[in-house]
Amino acid sequence: STPAAITSGLAAAARRGALIKGGAALERLGKIQHIAFDKTGTLTAGKPQVTTIEVNGELSENDLLALAAAVELGSSHPLAQAIVREAQNRNLELPDTTAHRALAGIGVEATINGETLLLSAPGKLANTVLDAAWQQRITQLEAEGQTVVALLQQGQLLGVLALRDTLRSDAKTAVAALHNLGVQSVMLTGDNPRAAAAIAQELGMDYRASLLPADKVSAVNELNARAPLAMVGDGINDAPAMKAATIGIAMGSGTDVALETADAALTHNRLTELANMIGLARATHNNIR
């Protein structure tokens, strides 16, 4: 291809929502042999809904939800927004909170009436062991592909909430199209292994679960050392992993920082453009050689 043909190819791709930021990014994209995906906000729409509220003890469901929403106030995490939205939909009054603290990849903490409330992935509770009946119930909800969060007050379980996110409608087609190009897909997620397995199986891809943001970087470094890897994410807990990959690709719905720093972006959030991007990059590369 002539430089002019490459430029017009890039422009056409950009109009379809496949933005590749220049020749160097295009060249690296042409070498990609596998691709890692963040789950929440990337393979899924990132708009989870609260489906289940179960209390441990005297609280009502609405009381539990109001406490959870108060702890989540101010967090930009998609799970936090879903919990706050559900409390608003039910017109619940939220108790006053102080000392909010985000625990990246784990959950969030706040103080209510001098007591510490922790909302956390049940698998990441450091100092609390849940009893067998609760473990079993949580396992069941997670095996359905749901994300469960547990609310604890001074280490005592108040109850759990389960949230379900929907897959992007083109996720399965996109993974299949990449497979046809010989590009293998793997999901990297901070979510629990059971929910990850349910979703990965539906999409026909591998997965690694329970990853903290730093674990996502290690996973990317390890995979990238085997063969050039692309990392697709939305910038929430995955921006460093996107940077560590041979090429980072941001979702259009992602954070501003992700969109600015990534080498490429899916500006219309269409995952099927990934195979088209790689196809274009390979064709350009072959023509130049």
- Residues identified as active-site: 38
Nearer to ligand ADP, 19 or 121 (CB): 121
Min separation Cβ 79 and ligand ADP, Å: 4
Site string for ligand ADP, 203-242 (x = CB under 6 A): ---------------------------------xx-----
72-111 footprint of Mg ion as x/- string (CB under 5 A):
----------------------------------------
Residue 58: DSSP 8-state:
S
In the list 36, 66, 141, 236, the residue contacting Mg ion (rule: CB under 5 A) is 236
> Which residue's CB atom is positioned nearest to ligand ADP?
190
Residues 241-270 that bind ligand ADP (CB under 6 A): none
Sequence-distant contacts of 226-230: CB under 8 A, at least 24 apart: 226/34, 227/33, 227/34, 228/28, 228/31, 228/32, 228/33, 229/32, 229/33, 229/34, 229/35, 229/36, 230/29, 230/32, 230/34, 230/35, 230/36, 230/274
State the chain's maximal CA–CA distance in angstroms. 72
Strand order across the 264-266 sheet: 18-20, 264-266, 247-251, 229-233, 34-38, 184-188, 206-208
Residues lying near ligand ADP in the complex (CB under 6 A) are found at: 38-40, 72, 75, 77, 79-80, 105-108, 119, 121, 147, 149, 189-191, 236-237
Residues lying near Mg ion in the complex (CB under 5 A) are found at: 38, 40-41, 236
